[in-house]
Amino acid sequence: MDFELLVGILPQVLLDGIILGFMYALIALGYTMVYGVLEFINFAHSEIFIIGAFVGVEIMLGLQSAGLLDALPWPVVLILVLMAGIAASGLVAVTVERVAYRPLRGTPRLIPLISAIGISFFLQDLIRLIESLWRNAFNLVYPTIDALNHRFVLTATIDISVKSLVVIAAALGILWLLHAVVNRTRVGTAIRAVAEDQAAASLMGINVNRIVSLTFLIGGAMGGAAGVLFGVQYGLINPYTGFIPGLKAFTAAVLGGIGNIPGAMLGGLVLGLLEAFAASYLSLLTNGAFGAEYKDIFAFSVLILILIFRPKGLLGEVVRERA
């Protein structure tokens, strides 16, 4: 075995894992917010996430055909696209809650869960229908912005691109913002109150429905931001792209302790690193007997172990509040 090679790629694998982890963390925040307040898993979140990516690519293609993509400085383009993705996903999330979840509140837990899975399929095919009518395309390609692709070369085998740094910065920024909103504002207090006890909160004069809508708005908005960044980072999306990252992010949320905001971040990072390690090293360590295709076994095995030995997730018990 080539020991030098194994060590040589380690920093890059770490870096790849961290970037992927932040991506998962961003998506996981949406699951965790909703779960924290309603104790309900919004399985349509992966589609809300990919809607952000689709709106993002449409805006970028629009800018490109208007000749503005290269004319505007890249941070302006990125902020514009992020805003659009955030707005679209947030609105869709609120609508989904209003149409498919609110009428079912108070029913056994399984019922809204099934409704969420239904909505998930519905949204996938809706995106597909709209895109095939609008562009007659299945796969959509994010236009390249050269400045975002610029790589900082650290050594011959280690480098990091501008877009990866953007993902990390955005994830940290959004985490900080979310933390601040939940813990330091009146709205945040209301959200925490509803998470604690809906009935008591409503007796204290909190409009529970409004707070739930707001939670979906925030969760959806973060999904939209994640979708845009996913598109920018990996370049190609189709209506079904959201499913796997959504599932992984959900896993990350559970791993970190679902309903716990720092937990989602930690879970995302752990999962991203695990995946990057398994995918990069499996083939090298087993001399080609197992390849990158088995990476998910490791990630999900760890999840099962965590659930067996620490059912509340990594940070599940440290922070008692659920949102």
Partner 1 sequence: MTHVIRSVLLLSLVLGLALVPATGPLQAQSKGTIKIATQSPLSGGQAALGEGIKLGAQLAVEKFKAGVEKLGYKVELVPYDDQAKPDVGVANARNIIADKDILAVVGHLNSGVAIPSSEVYREVNLAMVSPANTNPTVTDRGYPNIYRVCGRDDVQGVVGSEFAASLKIKSVYIIHDKTTYGQGVAEYFRDDAKKKGLTVLGFEGTEEKSNFDPIITPLRAKNPDLIYFGGIYEQAAPFFKQAREKGVKAKFMGPDGLDSSDLAKIGGKAVVGMYYTSVAGPVTKYPKAKAFAEEFRKKFGKNPEPFSAQAYDAATITLKAMEMAGKSGKKLSREDVSTAVRKVKHSGITGTWEFDDKGDPRSALYFVLQVASDDPQKWGENKEVKRLTIAAPSLKKK
Q: Judged by CB under 8 A, does residue 284 bind partner 1?
A: yes
Question: Contact between 235 and partner 1 (CB under 8 A)?
Answer: yes
Alpha helix (H) ranges present in 157-207? 162-184, 186-196, 198-203
Region binding partner 1 by CB under 8 A among candidate stretches 110-118, 182-190, 204-212, 272-280: 272-280
Instruction: Report the alpha-carbon distance of residue 194 to residue 285 in Å, rounded.
Output: 50
- The alpha carbon of 52 is separated from its chain's Cα centroid by a whole number of angstroms, namely 11
- Minimum CB distance to partner 1, residue 6 (Å): 9
Give the residue with the Cβ less far from partner 1, 120 or 241: 241
Region from 90-98, 184-192, 212-220, 226-234 binding partner 1, contact rule CB under 8 A? 226-234
**Closest separation between CB of residue 190 and partner 1, Å?**
37
Q: Which residue has the tokens 């007997």?
A: 289
Spatial neighbors of 261 by CB under 8 A, at least 6 apart, are: 29, 32, 33, 36, 175, 178, 179, 182, 323
Pairing of β 236-237 and β 140-141: antiparallel
**Would you say 201 and 225 are in contact if contact means Cβ atoms under 8 Å apart?**
no
List, as one string, the DSSP characters of 204-243.
TT--HHHHHHHHHHHHHHHHHHHHHHHHHHH-EE-TTTTH
* Backbone φ and ψ of 79, nearest 5°: -65, -40
CB of 4 vs partner 1, minimal distance in Å: 9
291 lines the binding site for partner 1 (CB under 8 A): yes
Q: Identify which range of 57-65, 94-102, 146-154, 259-267 contacts partner 1 by CB under 8 A.
A: 146-154
Between helix 243-256 and helix 295-309 the angle, nearest 10°, is 30
Q: Which of residues 296-315 bind partner 1 (CB under 8 A)?
A: none
Distance in angstroms (rounded) separating the CA atoms of residues 239 and 30: 19
CB-based contact 45:219 (threshold 8 Å): yes
CB of 76 to partner 1, least distance (A): 22
Which listed residue (139, 185, 207, 301) binds partner 1 by CB under 8 A?
A: 139
Position 151 contacts partner 1 (CB under 8 A) = yes
The answer to whether 153 contacts partner 1 (rule: CB under 8 A) is: yes
User: What interhelical angle do 243-256 and 10-38 show, nearest 10?
Assistant: 80
Please pick, from the candidates 114, 141, 177, 318, the single residue that binds partner 1 as defined by CB under 8 A. 141
Give the shortest CB-59-to-partner 1 separation in angstroms.
19
- Contact with partner 1 (CB under 8 A) among 12, 183, 202, 209: 12
Under the rule (CB under 8 A), what is the footprint of partner 1? 5, 8-9, 12-13, 16, 19-20, 132, 138-139, 141, 144, 149, 151, 153, 157, 159, 161, 230, 233-238, 241, 245, 275-276, 278-281, 283-284, 288, 291-293, 295
